[in-house]
Amino acid sequence: MQQVVNIVRGEVALSANHSKGNMYSSIREFQILKAFDVKCHPPSTPKIIQVNWSCPPLTWVKCNTNGASRGFPRASACGGIFRDHGGSFLGGFSESLGISNAFQAEVKGVICAIEFAAVKGWTNFWLECDSSLTIQAFSSLSLVPWRLQNRWSNYLDIIRGFRLRVTQIFREGNSYADKLANHGL
């Protein structure tokens, strides 16, 4: 029996020591790993990144947009806030979109922002959102949901006359747009 226990311990240790997985931070798990002679792989230390909202350059308008959804698909909305080089509020929007998903709400938020900027004549325009997929849609029409592709194409034509900058911001730096999108819900 002891020989079988030793074989099992050896095989567990051999396979576990080749594992790249992380352990949980519990004493019980630590005891089990030590009993089987397994090297501990504690989880990585989380990175802390400072997130700041940056003002746009002089003569530019910056819009932060966000989409929100209460499920897939469920009620959704989008929102956005426009600010100038001093961070002063220039306008905003919050719109209920009915039934759709979060990505459709994000794309619709960008469309609303471009529409708003075009009406106001803001051609030096910085668009910022927390969805990397939405930013990728500017270079790949196939990512845009089919229900929005015609409008998206129309707004891509509009922004050809813009000096446009599109960036991503972490969710924590996009809180005002998030509040507007949730208000639309």
42-94: pLDDT as tens digits = 677 778 888 888 999 999 999 999 999 987 778 999 999 999 999 999 999 99
Residues 21 and 86 in one domain: no
Residue 79 maps to a domain: yes
Closest CA to 80 of 57, 55, 106, 59: 106
Residues 31 and 95 in one domain: no
Residue 148 maps to a domain: yes
Residues 7 and 80 in one domain: no
Say what the pLDDT of residue 164 is.
93
Say what the pLDDT of residue 6 is.
82
The single residue listed with the structure tokens 């849609």 is 137
Q: Over its length of 185 residues, how does the chain's per-residue pLDDT go in tens digits?
A: 888 878 887 777 777 666 766 666 677 777 877 777 777 766 777 788 888 889 999 999 999 999 999 877 789 999 999 999 999 999 999 999 999 889 999 999 999 999 999 999 999 999 999 999 999 998 888 888 888 888 888 888 888 889 999 999 999 999 999 999 999 98
Cα dihedral 165, 67, 55, 151, rounded to 10, equals 30
Residue 52 maps to a domain: no
Say what the pLDDT of residue 55 is.
94
Residues 95 and 13 in one domain: no
Residues 14 and 79 in one domain: no
What is the Cα gyration radius of the chain? 24
In angstroms, the CA 111 to CA 10 distance is: 60
Residues 117 and 166 in one domain: yes
Residue 66 maps to a domain: yes
Say what the pLDDT of residue 41 is.
67
In angstroms, the CA 104 to CA 65 distance is: 13
Residues 8 and 96 in one domain: no
Domain count, the chain: 2
Say what the pLDDT of residue 67 is.
94
Residues 12 and 86 in one domain: no
Q: How many CA atoms lie within 13 A of 122 on its CB side?
A: 24
Residues 104 and 25 in one domain: no
Residue 78 maps to a domain: yes
Say what the pLDDT of residue 97 is.
92
Closest CA to 173 of 52, 91, 73: 52
- CATH number of the domain encompassing residue 142: 3.30.420.10
Say what the pLDDT of residue 152 is.
87
Residue 93 maps to a domain: yes
Residues 74 and 31 in one domain: no
Residue 31 maps to a domain: yes
Residue 23 maps to a domain: yes
Say what the pLDDT of residue 161 is.
87
Its domain, for residue 17, covers 2-35
Residues 97 and 22 in one domain: no
pTM: 0.74
Residues 113 and 173 in one domain: yes
In angstroms, the CA 160 to CA 66 distance is: 23
Say what the pLDDT of residue 135 is.
92
